[in-house]
Homo-oligomer: A and B are copies of this chain.
Amino acid sequence: MVSTLQERLVRSAAAVDSPVGQLADAQEWFRERAAADTSRVEVIPFEALRGWHFAADTHNLVHETGRFFTVEGLRVRMPGAPVEKWTQPILHQPEIGILGILVKDFDGVPHFLMQAKMEPGNHGGLQLSPTVQATRSNYTRVHRGRAVPYVEYFQRRDRHRVLADVRQSEQGSWFFRKRNRNMLVEVAADSDVEAHDDFRWLTLGQLHHLLAVEDLVNMDARSVLACLPRMTGGSDGTGGTGSPARERRGSVHRTADLLSWITGLRTDREVETERIPLRETDRWHRTDHRISHESGRYFSVMAVDVRAGGREVRSWTQPMIEPHGPGVAAFLLAHADGVPHVLVQARAEPGYTDVVELAPTVQCTPRNYAHLSGAAMPRFLSEVLQAPADRVRFDTVLSEEGGRFYHASNRYLVVETAMDIAPPEDPDFRWMALHQLLDLIGHSHYVNVEARTLIACLHSLLVK
């Protein structure tokens, strides 16, 4: 009998060891790659950037080719937010890149081709990354760089089986409307795809183990893994179906009501943004090394010199964003009639494409709130940080995108709680069955990047 995709994914999630290699082998392989990596990253003053300069008129930080990305200004008006008006620097990178993971069956168990990849902002240098992580300029080779290995599988999709292909947003506080295409593409089990030196086929079970290791699985990999078709529900009554998907099936709220809640917020909440010259940002000041807010909060724009030491030595300089203080991103988890639910927050960030996205229950940099009164503290933060150890189901520090953010990390938590901790109809929060949230990830701009990381981690908790 032919297994369904769902059955095969469940098998992969259960496989901690595999015909391709044991978990210990994978860990050993990664340690070896990390030991062999001689990359170094150095913080430099802006004037030591090569190819980058501050434009005379706008003071935007731009590359001489006009490519890659720019650092510019954004003016934000968000009535009703704790701060209602501000300006800030922001990264503008309009191209939509590909984040792709190749999938292949070995002995009936799907494996995922992961890459050990250095990025300058990473804590620890190498992290486990998708098969392909390429900007449009990369993969169309306008920079005449090396070909991106395996990218052809994501460009000629008609020959392979697409499991997911959806544009998803990234950090809306640091990027202006940045989206990447998150793709999972399965090649035939008998196809001959070789894993190059820096690549390795891993099961979902192995990936779930590695997700619990600090700073190991990178943001792009987590984002793509969150887009996997869901492994539970469907024919057992907990899954939604087309029209009935708008009905309630083992969920606290009907999907129609959740979609209506989102539509209401996107219709009524005002978020006005205007791209402005970087020179017009108020209260942000530039020194030789950094552009920072006068309060010392939020983040700085800074610059690095990178020497990447893999099989081939490459070196470059680039600007990056360095957040001030680590963040916290957490889902409160509760069960209703045995169906797992998470408390999602409808969150507006200025760089989002469509007003609000669904975010973790708590998502903040606690340090940015230290100067505000208790009432302004993020809701549910104390519940998360003060939860007894036996209710903490996941707790790992993971890095954000190392190609643009310097030592950016969040402590990701999943904390089990009781459903009555939140009122059922809070304006900004809803309990959502995990299967409802997973169905929305199939469409763009519903689930933010921090929530996608937590969903990748929740897969590891809920599918044994």
Contact = CB atoms under 8 A, between A and B. Distances in A.
Interface of A: 4-6, 96, 157-158, 162-167, 181, 183, 229-231, 233-235, 239-247, 254, 256-257, 259-260, 263-264, 266-267, 354, 425, 435, 438-439, 442-444
B263 A435 contact: no
B157 A259 contact: no
B246 A241 contact: no
Nearest to A353: B354
A71 to B, nearest CB: 22
Contacts of A425: 158
A181 B263 contact: yes
A240 B165 CA distance: 18
A321 to B, nearest CB: 24
Contacts of A246: 5, 163-164, 229, 442
B438 A243 contact: yes
A167 to B, nearest CB: 6
A162 B231 contact: no
9 A-B pairs closest in CB distance: A165-B260, A229-B243, A230-B243, A241-B241, A162-B260, A239-B242, A240-B242, A96-B267, A242-B439
A267 B166 CA distance: 10
Given A239-B243, A443-B443, 17 more contacts: A4-B244, A4-B247, A157-B257, A162-B256, A164-B246, A165-B256, A166-B259, A167-B263, A181-B263, A229-B246, A234-B241, A234-B243, A239-B242, A242-B439, A243-B439, A245-B442, A259-B443
Given A240-B242, A256-B163, A435-B242, A5 B247 contact: yes
Contacts of A443: 259, 443
Chain A facing B: main interface SS:
mixed
26 contacts: A4-B247, A5-B243, A157-B264, A164-B256, A165-B256, A166-B259, A181-B263, A181-B267, A183-B260, A229-B243, A229-B246, A229-B256, A230-B242, A231-B243, A234-B242, A234-B243, A239-B243, A239-B244, A240-B242, A241-B242, A242-B439, A243-B438, A243-B439, A259-B443, A263-B444, A443-B443
Nearest to A180: B267
A425 B267 CA distance: 36
Contacts of A4: 244, 247
